[in-house]
Structure 1
């Protein structure tokens, strides 16, 4: 009987990545699991069992990089006795323990656990946003912030019990924090799966009387005001790690870390592109005609540029090394990009009369030439 293509069995393309393969496998294994067809006819039960085996076999190959590579090259022949490419054939689907563990985890059975649950476990890392001004992101600053910190309860020393006499070995797992469950899978017999003990939630202990200070949580929470150093040149979305200010550890494990995510507030005039800073600068035509020096604000301090008569509105003038640090706390900086925006001053009546006298003596034929060329 010709075997079906493993990709067709899982309903995926040959370019599917690991997550897509696992998702398809879990969906189909759930659909064809024999337990879901126990009330069907014998023919339907047999069909479900065969489909379930096909899904398991396909996933056994496609979830393993080496086997997948051989299958992509040689097809089913790669796993037949004396197959091509130096393949040694299947090892009796030795990886099914992992496969069923994945499947049971997807069904909500907890899956296989390689960690002893009553060992010390580090707390989770947490993320918190902090707003800073545009100027502070360029120049750096120090700011005070209130943070929660978790400490082992001083009364119970992190046990969660009111006294040592209130701590008992879990009778279900005998203090291991894990239990072995056997699940029958038609065609494969009983599958052994190690899961976290539900009775003690993996701690291996039963507490008869909780600590009066921490109420069994094993930790106490305090609020601290600390000073944060914001490095010069930090960018929007970057993170600063605060060691020990994350979630509480378990079984006297260390705390996780707090990741402060930087949110740079927008500025009225500045924008940033990489390490360059951009600004629109209003420029009077009087300054252009006279080629005056004009001041340009920059986060690092006032800069000065000289205007030229050939400049046009929209031109960009570069002020070297007046931008942001190329990386946090770097001495190398980007540039300040000055975008010229021309405007006509609001002259007084007397000034306008003088200008009219000057312009009357001038004859600009640019427009006349343009009209002549137009027609």
Structure 2
């Protein structure tokens, strides 16, 4: 359906799109992007906006824009001209040549296209638990997270061969990937069955010389650092989904990476339960009886002033309104802070202190008896 209609439309739209296009912005990259960043961005965005998979308005224009950006920025010479002179410099340098067909670029990159009816196999979803501080959750923060995964080999682009000339059709199955095997059930009776070709392992081709970079594995190990944003007041187990950022393979599309945000257990006196924060404050016997004033430094550094002029029982919990965790569902709203008081008794009492306490709690007569 698209083979006759799209090439013509693409060329018409491409002329309009590239007039004022910011090629780096089209790939959602900065000018410092590496070759790997450019390939990765094109791989992600071209799949997202391909007309056979995305029927939303504007998707086809975005697909063409992404293809043009990749065509220029993946070529070191074109990229250098664009960085220095922009689109006008490219046009002058190319001498009026037409830009490549976006679908040809797509097929050359992926080794083929796909139809809307094709069921694309997707790799497994990988889950990671990410521990962050309560300070990060209270204030909201960006956290750098390194993730180890497999990516397609940049040298062979996932073929496993040293070059395209080292990939040949399997002579055993003639590229079918399967062979028909006849088995005799009984004299005069035979059965036929299809089995995976032993020589090519069902791939339909054989490689005569392996890629020296990945040793024929088609993928290499890579560590990518993701900058993830933790919203203020994120609940325990809050999930951040990195779409199509899982392990790469020539046999399937990358799966997703799911990051589950959890607070670290070692947080001193601070504890959290949903939107509530809990703090343990230690006071002396005199403070428990006579009252006290304290300043609690909160998770973001601001000070919460506590004042009590009444008796404080051990284990008493004071509620401070609005000093708990931010509540994302209610903008500019916070839960409560619960301050639990622990009363610490002295390990020993001096004779003078003992006389004073006896006078206070048992009267002057008891204090006089103790002196005798």
What TM-score does the superposition give when structure 2 sets the normalisation length? 0.51
Q: Structure 1 residues 133 and 336, CA, compared in 2 at 3 Å: closer, same or farther?
A: same
Please name the residue that 2:264 is paired with: 265
Counterpart mapping for 1:297-316 below 5 A: 297-300=297-300, 301-307=302-308, 309=310, 311-316=312-317
Cα deviation, residue 159, structure 1: 1.8
Cα deviation, residue 319, structure 1: 1.3
Counterpart mapping for 1:212-251 below 5 A: 212-251=212-251
Please name the residue that 2:39 is paired with: none
Q: Is the 8 A contact 2:151 2:247 kept in 1?
A: no
Q: Structure 1 residues 228 and 320, CA, compared in 2 at 3 Å: closer, same or farther?
A: same
Q: Is the 8 A contact 2:218 2:249 kept in 1?
A: no
Deviation beyond 6 Å, 4+ runs, structure 1: 178-183, 190-196
- The whole-number CA distance in structure 2 between the counterparts of 1:176 and 1:338 is 72
- The whole-number CA distance in structure 2 between the counterparts of 1:191 and 1:279 is 77
1:162 is paired with a residue whose SS is: coil
1:216 is paired with a residue whose SS is: coil
Aligned CA RMSD, in angstroms, stands at 4.2
Counterpart mapping for 1:1-375 below 5 A: 121-148=121-148, 150-170=150-170, 175-177=175-177, 199-251=199-251, 253-266=252-265, 267-300=267-300, 301-307=302-308, 309=310, 311-327=312-328, 331-344=332-345, 352-361=354-363
- The whole-number CA distance in structure 2 between the counterparts of 1:231 and 1:329 is 13
- The whole-number CA distance in structure 2 between the counterparts of 1:182 and 1:138 is 69
Gaps (5+ residues) in structure 2? 1-117, 184-189, 366-372
Q: Is the 8 A contact 2:176 2:204 kept in 1?
A: yes
Q: Is the 8 A contact 2:291 2:308 kept in 1?
A: yes
* Alignment length (residue pairs): 240
Cα deviation, residue 247, structure 1: 1.0
Q: After alignment, is 312-321 or 120-129 more displaced?
A: 120-129
Gaps (5+ residues) in structure 1? 1-117, 184-189, 364-375
Q: Structure 1 residues 347 and 179, CA, compared in 2 at 3 Å: closer, same or farther?
A: farther
Alpha-carbon displacement from aligned partner over 1:163-211 (angstroms, at most 9, x marks no partner): 223223345665455678999xxxxxx9999886665444333223222
Q: Is the 8 A contact 1:128 1:261 kept in 2?
A: yes
Cα deviation, residue 240, structure 1: 3.0
Alpha-carbon displacement from aligned partner over 1:149-170 (angstroms, at most 9, x marks no partner): 5443333232222222322334
- The whole-number CA distance in structure 2 between the counterparts of 1:232 and 1:172 is 61
Q: Is the 8 A contact 2:243 2:255 kept in 1?
A: yes
Cα deviation, residue 362, structure 1: 7.6
- The whole-number CA distance in structure 1 between the counterparts of 2:355 and 2:193 is 96
